[in-house]
Structures are given as structure tokens and as C-alpha cells.
A and B are shown apart, each in its own frame.
Chain A
Amino acid sequence: MTDILNALVVFANFVLVPGASYGAQLALGALGITLVYAVLRFSNFAHGDTMAFGAMVTVLATWALQGVGVSIAPLPTALLALPAGIVATAAFVLATDRLVYRFHRRQHSQPVIFVIVSVGVMFVMNGVVRFIIGPDDQSFADGARFLVTAGDFKRMTGLAEGLAIKASTLLTLVVAVVVVIALFWFLQKTRTGKAMRAYSDNEDLALLSGVDPDRVVMIAWLLVAALATIAGTLYGLDKTFKPFTYFQLILPMFAAAIVGGIGSPVGAIVGGFVIAYSEVTVTYAYKRVLGHLLPDSLAPDSLVQLLGTEYKFAVSFVILVVVLLVRPTGILRGKVI
């Protein structure tokens, strides 16, 4: 019995819990991407750097708060600083819209032009973030780091294996769930939400229904800014703040958004977890789990690993391709919000 428990705990500790936290992080990022796609109809390559920007402002604000001794322990101070990050990011994003995207919207440029324009915005943001805070790692996490550490867990349960749960993991999960429910409700039920969907569906006809396009676009960007800042900050709290990793995040985030069905918020969440768990489970070495489950004589010598971890991205992409081949518009059918 304890063997089974031990096996479960190992599995939870190295697969379930980290996968959940990574999945929730991807999902939050993918939500922002999906929202831009759904309302403004293009793939926003600047989203990773938007997250970096939002997180950066939050980091700066957190330092300022920490400097004057404000704290909401055991929660991280960064949560208090979030509004500052959101406001600054919103301002920045609205400014780019005004200066860049609006022109192409009025021109009725093709989606691919928007994609390339977003690459341009990405370069600029990339530089701006590094100008302000530099390319380095920045730590800004405070508050309780763990809900349970592996050692505590062993002591409490008397099991041979430990289970660690980070506070940031739980926080990310909770926020992801809350945000997606709120977003879903907003888009499906509120007038503004419907106007946004209508606008994305058929812009000209939306005008004929009296929808104010500028307002719709502005609200979309505000939501995107908020989502990006929250996602970026939570990611920074869990891992670390470094501009380059945010850029690296866009590929898995896109994968998540698309596997889930681009344009669908619930799809983004599902996609995030599919990508995260496919990376973790396929490359996990089941040696220790089996070691607990099987009698000693049968315990495996080898790692019992389906594929080396160097192929973990390959694995998630293979899964992605397979999912797309089976369901060409993603798990939850894209483009519907």
C-alpha cells in the first residue's frame, strides 16, 4: 500500500504538480494570444514581449513597494504591484495600436501583414524592456515560497517520497481558472463581449449594427494587456523574471492556443495543459515509479524513459501535429470564442 502511495507521490511530485503549474502558465499566455486572434484576427508575435513588459513594470513596482516596506505576506508583494503593471502595459499597448495597428486596420491589410507588423512590435518591445531593466535575471518574489516542501511532506506522512507544492503553483492555477471563467462570461454574456465577437466575425456588418470599432479594439487591447501582465508576473514569480525566456515562451504558447482551437478561451486552457503534460509525461523516466510498484526483483535498471528529455519539445510538437491531423481546427474547434 505504501508502495503505491509512494509511487503516486513521486509521480505527483515530478509530473502532476509541475505539469499543472507549467500548463497554467502556458494557458494564461495562450489566452492573450487567442484573444488577439479572436478579436483582431491575427497571430500576435509580440505577446511574449508584452508579458515581459508587464512583468517588468510589476517588478519595478514591487521593488518600490518592498523598498517602503509594504507587504501582504504570505502572499507575494507583486500582487499589490500588478495594477501598476497592467496600467503601464495597457498604455503601451494602446499606444502601439494607435501608432501601428490602427493604420493597417483602416487599410484592411491582410492578416499576414499584421503578423509581420507584430514581429516588428516584438523587436521594439524586446529592445525597450532590455533598455529599462536589462537582460538579466531579476528576483522579486517574496512571501511564502512553499505550501508544502518535500521534506515537510515526508515528515508529515512518513512516506519515503516527498511532495512539494509551491505557493506560486496554486496561485497560477487559481488565477488561470478565474480568468478564463471571467473571460468566457464576458465574451458570451455581456453586450460588449458580443460586440467584440461580432466585430471579429464581420467588421463591416458590426459597424452597421452600431458597434463602435475603436471602442471594441480598445477593450480588447486592455484585456490583452491585463492578461499579459498577469501571466508574465505569475510566470516570473514561479520561475524567474528574464526577458529572453518570455520570448522563448511564445512558441509553446502558440502551440497551446492552436492545439486548443485558436480563438477559444477554453481551448487555450486545454491546450496549455496538453502541451505541458505531453512534455513532462512522455520524457519522464518511470524508473522510480515502477521501482515502488514492482517487486524488488523486477525493479527496472534502466530509466524506463520513452524518449530523452532533449526531445521534449519535439514530443510536444509531435503531439501537436497529431492532434491537428485528427482535429484540424484544434481540440475545441477554433475561431468561435
Chain B
Amino acid sequence: MAEPFLIGEGMTGGYGGTTILNDCTISVDRGEIAVIVGPNGAGKSTAMKAVFGMLDLTAGSVRLDGRDITRLAPQDRVPEGMAFVPQNANIFAGMTVRENLEMGAYLRRDDISGTMEQVFDLFPILREKQRQNAGELSGGQRQQVAVGRALMTRPTVLMLDEPTAGVSPIVMDELFDRIIEIRRAGIAILMVEQNARQALEIADHGFVLVTGENRYTDTGAALLANPEVRRSFLGG
């Protein structure tokens, strides 16, 4: 099997002294959706940060398209086509919604109005609120801004940390639809979800993390079918 497009392999590391990730491996290929699930505090967000270079790894490596990028600074991964929506503090609170989206396209030199329209079509409320400061939005609206910002980069790898937390069902559906659409364009999508059943339904691969280790790794459908996984991690 050829190596996946993006892989964080055998990642070990944590914050300061403590080790959070233990030989954890996460990967995703082009045109695929990979979903990470697991209990709170399992290290899912930490794994995402590690893949994006926001954590010092004591062991393991991150490779993009076969190239070792373990030592690349986060801001230098953006030009490589990686985009990331963190779980917390994922908007520029003091800037308007429109400026938030523009910041997503910071490195792009081409015309961004088309992409902006696409984001507005996906999240109509943002079109309405584009001149408002993002910090004044409701919780779900902020989440939409955050995802919109990442979409603006037109990435080759899209990493989303709980993109649907706090968004209403209708928006969540739209979002998942959109993600499927993006996958079709050959983009690799890596996401963490607590709405795990919906997420695994559309996922090609799933990773179940517990205390920083891979507990289960399988296709989305297989994980959904696994009663043990369902009971312990997906809420029955």
C-alpha cells in the first residue's frame, strides 16, 4: 500500500513535561475523510495540533505527500496546502466576519470573491453578518465563521476539530454535505467529531483514540458496526 497523502506516524509528545500522545498514528489520503473519535481528554485535539506542528514531538514524524514536515513551523504548512480549524479560539474576535474570511485567504494572490460567495452560500447567516465583529456572534455562528475561514484557503488538506459543536442540525447537515463535496474534489479531510455517528457515516477511515493511543482503526462503516465501539464511544 502506498503511503497516505498525510500521515502523522508514531507521534509521541505533550505539553511541557507530560506526555499526552503515545505512539499515535493518524493518516488521511486525498479524496478521503478520516474521522478521529474518542472520550474527552483522549488527546484528539492534541493529535491534530501535532499533525499541524503546534506541538513538539519527542518521537514520530509527520509526512505530507511523502515529504517529512515534522520540523516545519505551522505558518509554513499553510502554503503547503494545509488548513486547520482548532477547537477553541478559532476566530478573530476583533475583526469583522468578512475580514475573518479574508484572513483565511491571506496567502492567496488570486481573486477570492468566488470562494467567498461559496462560503456565504453554505452559511447564509454569514453574508448577513459580514460587517459585524465575529466576537459578537452566537456560538454556532462563530463556528461557521471558523469553518468558513478554513474553506477560504482552498486547501489540499482540511483539518477540522469538532466543526459541528454548537451548530444547529440544519447547518450540520449542510456542512457534512459540503464536506462530502470537497472530498470529491480530491481534498484530504481530517476531522475530530463528537457527533461521531453522523461523522463516521461519511468517513472513509476512523480512528478511535483513548489516552493518546490508537484503540481502534478501521473504516467508518466497520467502526459503526462494532458494538463495543458504539457502546463505549458513540453513546450506544
Q: Do chains A and B touch in the complex (CB under 8 A)?
A: yes
Residue in B94, B99, B107 whose Cβ sees the most chain A Cβ within 10 Å: B94
Binds B, one of A45-53, A72-80, A91-99, A204-212: A204-212
Which residues on the A side are within 8 Å of B103 (C-beta)?
194-195, 198, 206, 209, 211
- Could you mark each residue 66-83 of chain B with 1 if its beta carbon is under 8 Å from any beta carbon of chain A, else 0? 000000011100110001
CB pair A198 B75 closer than 8 Å = no
Q: Once the chains are docked, how many angstroms separate the CA of A208 from the CA of B95? A: 16
CB pair A210 B75 closer than 8 Å = yes
Q: Is A197 an interface residue (CB 8 A)?
A: yes
A window 198-228: CB within 8 A of B: 198, 200-202, 204-213
The B interface, classified by DSSP as helix, strand, loop or mixed, is loop
Q: Is A335 an interface residue (CB 8 A)?
A: yes
Q: Once the chains are docked, how many angstroms separate the CA of A204 from the CA of B74? A: 9
Q: Once the chains are docked, how many angstroms separate the CA of A197 from the CA of B94? A: 8
Q: Once the chains are docked, how many angstroms separate the CA of A212 from the CA of B106? A: 11
Which residues on the B side are within 8 Å of A209 (C-beta)?
78, 103-104, 106-107, 149, 153
CB pair B91 A205 closer than 8 Å = yes
Shortest A193–chain B CB gap in Å is 11
CB pair A204 B94 closer than 8 Å = no
Q: Which residue of B lies closest to A203 (CB)?
A: B89
Q: Which of these, B94, B106, B107, contacts A335 with CB under 8 Å?
A: B94
Q: Is B90 an interface residue (CB 8 A)?
A: yes
Q: Which of these, B79, B86, B94, B99, contacts A208 with CB under 8 Å?
A: B86
Which residues on the A side are within 8 Å of B90 (C-beta)?
205
Query: When A198-B103, A210-B107, A336-B94 are in contact, do A205 and B75 touch as well, CB less than 8 Å?
Result: no
Q: Once the chains are docked, how many angstroms separate the CA of A194 from the CA of B84? A: 20
The A interface, classified by DSSP as helix, strand, loop or mixed, is helix
Q: Which of these, B78, B91, B106, contacts A202 with CB under 8 Å?
A: B91
Q: Which residue of A lies closest to B78 (CB)?
A: A210
- For chain A, the bracket of interface size reads 20 to 34
Q: Once the chains are docked, how many angstroms separate the CA of A204 from the CA of B104? A: 13
Which residues on the A side are within 8 Å of B149 (C-beta)?
209
CB pair A207 B95 closer than 8 Å = no
CB pair A208 B92 closer than 8 Å = no
Shortest B82–chain A CB gap in Å is 9
Which residues on the A side are within 8 Å of B153 (C-beta)?
209-210
Which residues on the A side are within 8 Å of B107 (C-beta)?
209-210
Q: Is B52 an interface residue (CB 8 A)?
A: yes
Q: Is B165 an interface residue (CB 8 A)?
A: no
CB pair A207 B93 closer than 8 Å = no
Which residues on the A side are within 8 Å of B99 (C-beta)?
194, 197-198
CB pair B78 A201 closer than 8 Å = no
Query: When A195-B106, A198-B103 are in contact, do A208 and B78 touch as well, CB less than 8 Å?
Result: yes
Q: Once the chains are docked, how many angstroms separate the CA of A198 from the CA of B83? A: 16
Which residues on the A side are within 8 Å of B91 (C-beta)?
202, 205
CB pair A202 B93 closer than 8 Å = yes
Q: Which residue of B lies closest to A210 (CB)?
A: B78
Which residues on the B side are within 8 Å of A204 (C-beta)?
54, 86, 89
Q: Once the chains are docked, how many angstroms separate the CA of A208 from the CA of B54? A: 10
Which residues on the B side are within 8 Å of A336 (C-beta)?
94
Shortest A250–chain B CB gap in Å is 26
Query: When A197-B95, A198-B92, A336-B94 are in contact, do A208 and B84 touch as well, CB less than 8 Å?
Result: yes
Shortest B169–chain A CB gap in Å is 27
- B contact set with A: CB distance below 8 Å: 52, 54, 73-75, 78-79, 83-84, 86, 89-95, 99, 102-104, 106-107, 149, 153
- A contact set with B: CB distance below 8 Å: 191, 194-195, 197-198, 200-202, 204-213, 335-336
